[in-house]
Amino acid sequence: MKKTLLQITMIIPLVILLCFTVGCQQGEEVPEEPAIDVEANTATINELWNQYCIAYRTGDLDLWMSLWTEDGIRMPPDKPAVIGKEQIRSSMQSFFDMYNIDCYVKNEEARIAGDWAVCRGTYKGSSTPKAGGKVIKFAGKYMSIIERQADGSWKIARDCFNEDAPRK
């Protein structure tokens, strides 16, 4: 018993010394995250929404599709989610074919975290049937997740929107 007690009393100071030594060592320097230029990124994101409206106004489905990631998901009101760029194109082709669209998007907020941003805003506009007919006015709100691409551009990864009132 004496031998064990003696061993313990000798080991305890060594353990404390070891803990103190390890605790006082300086750790490796962690590289600092580059500062996010919120203003520049917000301007780039706002330009994405500008291009979105230009594509609608000019009837340019290819331009509109270029604003989406390959795995994009579009969540229109009262319909199932549309998953993937090709399905999004397919679901929008007839809309672009049938209507002249006037669209305005106001991005009211962009919260940026690394290569992701959450955008919130409003939209309004009108759809005029190309074959003639009544102009349909619309207005609503959206929340979208935008992803920064390797080239620094931003693309829509997820888009959820709804209208303030039924279309008239």
What is the per-residue pLDDT across 68-125, written as a single tens digit (0 to 9) for each? 999 999 999 999 999 999 999 999 999 999 999 999 999 999 999 999 999 999 999 9
Q: Is 29 within a domain? A: no
Q: Is 30 within a domain? A: no
What is the span of the domain harbouring residue 150? 38-163
User: What's the domain count of the chain?
Assistant: 1
Instruction: Enumerate residues 6+ apart whose C-beta is below 8 A from 166.
Output: none
Query: Which pLDDT belongs to residue 102?
Result: 96
For residue 56, the domain's CATH number is 3.10.450.50
Supply the pTM of this predicted model.
Answer: 0.76
Query: Which pLDDT belongs to residue 157?
Result: 98
Q: Is 43 within a domain? A: yes
Q: What DSSP string runs through 99-157?
A: EEEEEEEEEEEEEEETTEEEEEEEEEEEEEETTS---EEEEEEEEEEEEE-TTS-EEEE
